Amino acid sequence: MLRGPMSRARSLFWVAVAYLVAGAAAYGVWLALGGQPLWILVTAADVAATVVVFGFSVAFNNSSIYDPYWSIAPMVAAPVMAAVGGGEVSRRWLVAGLVLAWGARLTWNWLRSWHGMTQEDWRYVNVRHATGRGYWAASFFGLHLMPTVAVLAGMLPLLPAMGVARPLGVLDAVAALVTLAGIVLEATADEQLRSFRRGAEPGQIMQRGLWARCRHPNYLGEITFWWGLYLFGLAASPSSWHYTVAGAAYIHVMFVFITIPMIDKRSLARRPQYREHMTRVPALLPIG
C-alpha cells in the first residue's frame, strides 16, 4: 500500500490520478453498455468510478480521497445528460449550469480545506476505530457506496429535466431560484466559517452571520440545492414526482438524522457552551 508521509502537492497529484482513472473506468462502462436506458448508463458508470476511487482509498489508507466525489460526479454526469437528453434545450443547460456552479464551488472549498494524505475526515477515523479489522468493508459500503447512491438518487430529477420536451414554465423559474439560493446560502456559510476559523480560539462557537440564525446554514444550503433540482424534474414532468422526490428526501433525512446529530455530538464534547447554544439556535430553519 502507498502509505507514509506525503506532501500536499503530491497528495493532490494522486487524487487527480485517482479521478482520471475513475473517469476512464466510467467511460469504459458507458461504452460497454451502449444502448441501455440513460439511468442504467449513469448508474453503472457512477458505481464503476466509485469502485476505482475506493481502490485508491485502500491503497493510500485514506477514505478522504472519496470526499470530492460528492461534487465531482454530478459535474460530469449533468453535462453528459444534457448533451444526450432530448428534453427542452434551455432547461437542460440551465440545470447543467447550476450543477456545475454548485459542484465547482464545493470542490474548490474541499481543495482549500484538505491538507493531504496526512488528513482524514474525523468521522472516518471514528468508523475506523469502531470497526477495526472490518473497516474497509464499512468504508466501501458506508463511506463510498452510500454517498454515491445518495447523489444518484439526488440526480433522479435530471432524467425528466433532461429528457422531457415540456416548455419552460413558472415552476422552472421557481426551481432556478431555489437551486441558486441553495448554492449562494452554502457558499456564504462556508466563507463565513472559513473566515471565523482563521481567528477563532479553541472552544469558541461560530455565532456570526448566517450562523447566528441556525447552527448549520451550510447544510441548509446543500439540502435546498437538491430540492431545487427536484423542482426542475417536477417542472419537466409533474407525473414523475413519485420517484424523483426520493433523492432530495433521502439527502434531507441523511443530514437531519445522521450528519447534524453527529456534528452536534462532537461539538458538545469539545465546547462546553455548545449545549446552551443548541437551546437558542435551531439546527436548520432560522425560525424565531
Tens digit of pLDDT for each residue in 186-198? 999 999 999 998 8
CA distances from 141 to 22, 148, 151, 205 (A): 17, 10, 14, 33
Distance, in Å, from the CA atom of 200 to the CA atom of 206, rounded to the nearest integer, reads: 8
Cβ–Cβ < 8 Å for 57, 139 = yes
Per-residue confidence at 286, pLDDT binned at 50, 70, 90?
confident
Residue 263 φ/ψ, nearest 5 degrees = -65, -45
Break the chain into its structural domains and give their ranges: 8-280
Cell readout for 108 is 474548490
Compute the mean pLDDT over every residue in the chain, rounded to the nearest whole number: 94
Which tens digit of pLDDT belongs to each residue from 218-246? 999 999 999 999 999 999 999 998 999 99
Confidence of residue 288 (pLDDT cuts 50, 70, 90): low
Q: What is the pTM of this model?
A: 0.94
Q: How does pLDDT run across 55-97, given as a tens digit for each residue? A: 999 999 999 999 999 999 999 999 999 999 999 999 999 999 9
Q: How far apart are CA 217 and CA 223, in angstroms?
A: 10
pLDDT digits (tens, 9 = 90+) for 14-36: 999 999 999 999 999 999 998 89
pLDDT at position 1 over 60 = no
